[in-house]
């Protein structure tokens, strides 16, 4: 275990003292005979933004899908507030306060923007007005397009809708799978600012990204995943200046 080492390294960080919210313990996930996660350990503390970085195929999406109950680990544990949640079906995981904006956004294409947001609040009896107002405040673009079919939105708008929809479930922990994928730099900038705002309002964020530089500027800490194993973990600022990270993920020089 590297936890003792981490602890020393991170005592300088502002949220280090906060209790662990999510813990992945020696998590191993397989697709048939192929092992996608080779025993990873990840901790997300209350109030943090944690970045999970890695190239295409590293296992980032697999990690998020295992947390939200879409995949079952063959070995290891997913703990939320100290309780094991691996084995809990996905429609129950959302009730534990985990929201997800999946890879590729996955908005419901022939539902309106408003209906998509209402789906996000499916676990509640009605649609809480406050949450809807909050989301439409965060994303004024969605407010303008509330009666438009989601399938006809631009990529950036769909990403906003996917995040807004996840927020409608009132998550304590928000999982974001590559929110910058395929978007213009200006839109990416906007979306990352909103993620920061969401975090400032009290939601813990686990941010999966290939866009390492953007993600690390926003995050408190980061993990680097390579072919199913964690190869680096540190404060975001330390990772941002690490020559290996710069070479492999920020496109500087040869690896």
Partner 1 sequence: MNLFHNFWDYFIPGLTTGSMYAVIAIGYTLVYGVLQLINFAHSEVFMMGGFGSLVVLSELAPQSPHGFTSVVWVIVGMIAGALVGALTAFGLEKAAYKPLRKRNAPKLVFLISAIGASFFLYNLAGKLWGRNPVPMPELYTNGEVFSVFGTPVKITQLIIIGSAVAMMIGLDLVVNRTKMGAGIRAVAQDAETAGLMGVDIDKIISRTFIIGGLLGGAAGFLYGFGISGQVWFTVGFLPGIKAFAAAVLGGIGNIRGAMLGGLLLGIVENLSSPLFGTQWIDVTAFVVLILVLMFRPTGIMGERLGRSA
Ligand X SMILES: Nc1ncnc2c1ncn2[C@@H]1O[C@H](COP(=O)(O)OP(=O)(O)O)[C@@H](O)[C@H]1O
Angle (nearest 5°) at CA 62 between 175 and 197: 15
Tokens of 200: 């400032």
Among 26, 77, 115, 226, binds partner 1 (CB under 8 A): 115
Element (H, E) at 207: strand 204-209
**Candidates 75-83, 88-96, 129-137, 228-236 — which segment interacts with partner 1 by CB under 8 A?**
88-96
Which CB atom, from 54 or from 120, has the smaller least distance to partner 1? 120
Sites for ligand X among residues 58-87 (CB under 6 A): 58-62
Cα–Cα nearest to 78, from 36, 20, 30, 120? 20
Strand 83-84 versus strand 75-80 pairing type = antiparallel
Is 33 among the residues that bind ligand X (CB under 6 A)? no
Question: What residues line the site for Mg ion (CB under 5 A)?
Answer: 61, 103
Which CB atom, from 176 or from 230, has the smaller least distance to partner 1? 176
Among 4, 11, 31, 129, binds ligand X (CB under 6 A): 31
Residue 120 contact partner, candidates partner 1, ligand X, Mg ion, none, CB within 5 to 8 A by sort of partner: partner 1
Is 30 among the residues that bind partner 1 (CB under 8 A)? no
Residue given tokens 């970045």 in the structure block: 51
Is 19 among the residues that bind ligand X (CB under 6 A)? no
Rounded Cα gap, residues 126 and 109, in angstroms: 22
* CA 203 to centroid of chain Cα atoms: 11
Among 111, 143, 218, 250, binds partner 1 (CB under 8 A): 111
Residue 185, SS3 per DSSP: helix
Tokens of 170: 């009132």
**Candidates 19-27, 56-64, 197-205, 211-219 — which segment interacts with ligand X by CB under 6 A?**
56-64
Side by side, which strands form the sheet with 98-101? 98-101, 173-177, 204-209, 49-53, 221-226, 229-235
* Exposure of 53 in the CB half-sphere (CA atoms within 13 A): 30
Cα–Cα nearest to 225, from 207, 199, 252? 207
- Dmax (CA) of the chain: 55
Among 22, 36, 53, 142, binds ligand X (CB under 6 A): 36
Rounded least distance, CB 51 to Mg ion, Å: 14
Among 47, 102, 164, 222, binds partner 1 (CB under 8 A): 102
Is 89 among the residues that bind partner 1 (CB under 8 A)? yes
Among 7, 17, 87, 95, binds partner 1 (CB under 8 A): 95
Beta-bridge mates of residue 206: 50, 175
Residue 36 contact partner, candidates Mg ion, ligand X, partner 1, none, CB within 5 to 8 A by sort of partner: ligand X
Is 110 among the residues that bind partner 1 (CB under 8 A)? yes
Interface contacts to partner 1, rule CB under 8 A: 68, 70, 89-91, 94-95, 100, 102, 106, 108-111, 115, 118-120, 122-123, 151, 165, 169
């Amino acid at each position: 275990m590297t936890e003792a080492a981490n602890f020393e390294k991170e005592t300088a960080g502002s949220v280090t003292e906060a209790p662990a919210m999510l813990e992945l313990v020696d998590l191993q996930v397989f697709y048939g005979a192929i092992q996608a996660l080779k025993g990873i350990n990840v901790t997300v503390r209350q109030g943090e933004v944690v970045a999970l970085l890695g190239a295409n195929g590293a296992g980032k999406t697999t990690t998020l899908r295992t947390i939200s109950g879409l995949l079952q680990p063959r070995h290891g544990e997913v703990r939320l507030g100290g309780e094991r949640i691996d084995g809990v079906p996905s429609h129950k995981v959302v009730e534990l306060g985990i929201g997800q904006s999946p890879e590729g956004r996955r908005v419901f294409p022939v539902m309106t923007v408003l209906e998509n947001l209402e789906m996000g609040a499916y676990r509640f009896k009605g649609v809480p007005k406050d949450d809807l107002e909050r989301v439409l405040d965060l994303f004024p673009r969605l407010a303008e397009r509330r009666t438009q079919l989601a399938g006809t939105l631009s990529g950036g708008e769909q990403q906003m809708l996917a995040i807004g929809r996840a927020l409608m479930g009132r998550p304590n922990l928000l999982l974001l799978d590559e929110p910058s994928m395929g978007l213009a730099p200006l839109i990416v900038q906007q979306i990352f600012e909103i993620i920061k705002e969401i975090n400032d309002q009290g939601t813990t964020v686990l941010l999966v990204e290939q866009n390492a530089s953007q993600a690390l500027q926003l995050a408190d800490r980061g993990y680097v995943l390579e072919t199913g194993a964690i190869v680096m973990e540190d404060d975001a600022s330390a990772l941002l200046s690490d020559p290996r990270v710069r070479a492999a993920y920020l496109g500087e020089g040869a690896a």
